[in-house]
Chain A
């Protein structure tokens, strides 16, 4: 049994998700090989080689993989991955983009967004926005799997696996990168932060999100948002927590002015401790909150910032 894990990175640094994928891969059994595909990514391969449990790192360093275009990455993963028993990637937007393409090219099903590994062929995944948990068994020869990183603990980083270069180059003529607009932030990444403070429609406008910033800075927290806040244009979409946004499971999640719709809960209800601040004491968010504070967020937030 060997498992091929696709390293999650942004061409600058290896992302923390990768060590969580290795944790999931370890439960599938066998040797673990990591594929680092990118442009100018030697440093990322070195970082991947340090992750415990990794037997080998394969680097495909080529301009064709610089922007992780699904057409190119999928062909590469199919070529390198066809002799593996499992191909694993994060259920990030990158993994969600190219992995089903890999599965279809290999003529196998894909198991999306797993939160548990029961055996090498049996996996646990949420359906219906997390309102049901399915246990599924795959009889495919190659299991193509995306992993909800938030559901696994990162393994340690005390390894020195060999790094091997792959010269496979796959370039599709049919798609090309135009540009990207990334959201600048000095705060921890939303999906990896230990503490997340999120605002919803109750924040009333984008400027008021600055009320969350002081608290986030003091707690070293990331700032998230509900879909209502994103749709209303308060904040950019990559801050959205929910079924259709990011899934987070921090130590502490503070929901401010968020009612707690099904689709939002799907993104945060596995947080260790949930705090809800809302003026409507009937808001569904209080049913999942460990600590609830009923009141006006415009009074509460400045006071909270002062007292922590």
Chain B
């Protein structure tokens, strides 16, 4: 079976972002970029399924300008077989991304699409669900366990009260939660090998998708800063402050 894994180039999760002085967005110049952590888990899951003999081919796709080829190469070094860059300079919303991916699904007809549940920059948590809707596939979101059996997949999902298991017909869309697996590190030989793996570039314009968005970002502000607090010396003082000063207990 073939697995398609969309990955996103996003700011490294350790970087503390700064809002630009003109409030137009977040300053990404010179910021360290990486594969979005949830996408990395998606790649790991696909590669594991390949190692188990369940999957035969893992195709990685990223949408963006040339710079996202770096993240595709990383995914190839982790064990994916080939990469696709859907080339565009536009800043796309989840809906446009899902539309481009749904066209790619038509072309590639994967049996499974595995995405991260959200990207740590826009924090939308939408693309997988939208892709499932547009392709008519069932969805297993926030997956912490994936079991493939014949033409079905059992997905254990992380929900607010605990865990829920659903069974989906393939082809299906799965989005990964953090506890699905622990991504491996790419070894140097695999990084070298990844350079020779095929990477196709497809212009987004060829997909026949309207890339304009109906959502405008008017401004981006830094969050309200909390006042620096005080350190107390003892439990008694803490309890006294909570009772008499903050009046919260």
Interface residues of A (CB under 8 A from B): 10, 67, 69-71, 74, 92-94, 96-105, 107-113, 122, 126-140, 172-183, 191, 195, 219, 227, 230-231, 236-238, 243-244, 246, 251-252, 262-263, 269, 272-275, 281, 286-294, 300, 303-304, 307-308
Contacts and interface: CB of A to CB of B under 8 A. Distances in A.
Interface string B222-249: 1100111111111110110110001011
Interface of B: 11, 13-14, 16-17, 19, 26, 93-95, 98, 117-118, 120-134, 137-139, 141-142, 144, 154, 157-169, 172, 177-179, 213-223, 226-236, 238-239, 241-242, 246, 248-249
B32 to A, nearest CB: 14
B121 A127 contact: yes
A69 B140 CA distance: 10
B235 A252 contact: no
B230 A290 contact: yes
A238 B124 CA distance: 20
Given A139-B215, A180-B164, A288-B226, 5 more contacts: A107-B95, A128-B26, A139-B216, A262-B16, A287-B226
Contact of A97 (B93, B141, B162, B167): B141
A292 B220 contact: no
A104 B133 CA distance: 6
A127 B129 contact: no
A109 B141 contact: no
Nearest to B96: A109
Q: Which 3 A-B pairs have the closest CB atoms?
A: A100-B129, A104-B133, A104-B130
A112 to B, nearest CB: 5
A304 B94 contact: no
Contact of B178 (A227, A287, A291): A227
14 contacts: A74-B133, A111-B215, A130-B223, A135-B219, A137-B218, A140-B214, A174-B168, A174-B169, A175-B138, A180-B165, A183-B162, A262-B13, A273-B246, A291-B229
A129 B15 CA distance: 11
A111 B124 CA distance: 8
Contact of B231 (A10, A127, A286): A286
Given A101-B129, A178-B167, A127 B123 contact: yes
A104 B158 contact: no
A133 B138 CA distance: 33
A183 B161 contact: yes
Contacts of A130: 223
A139 B169 contact: no
B24 to A, nearest CB: 11
B248 A238 contact: no
A61 B51 CA distance: 44
A102 B166 CA distance: 19
Contacts of B222: 131-133
B232 A291 contact: yes
Nearest to B168: A175
Contacts of A178: 154, 165-167
A1 to B, nearest CB: 18
Contacts of A10: 161
A249 B101 CA distance: 36
B229 A105 contact: no
Contacts of B11: 128
Given A71-B139, A177-B164, A183-B161, A100 B120 contact: no
A294 B248 CA distance: 21
Contacts of A177: 164-167
A101 B93 CA distance: 15
Contacts of B246: 252, 273, 290-291
A120 to B, nearest CB: 14
Contact of A287 (B26, B157, B228): B228
A103 B17 contact: no
Contacts of A94: 159-160
A132 B16 CA distance: 10
Given A127-B123, A129-B120, A293 B231 contact: yes
B242 A291 contact: yes
Given A98-B129, A127-B26, A274-B229, A70 B120 contact: no
- Tell which of B163, B238, B241 has the most Cβ of chain A within 10 Å: B238
A110 B124 contact: yes
A281 B229 CA distance: 13
B240 to A, nearest CB: 9
Given A93-B158, A108-B95, A128 B242 contact: no
B130 A293 contact: no
A293 B236 contact: no
A262 B16 CA distance: 8
A138 B13 CA distance: 28
A238 B158 contact: yes
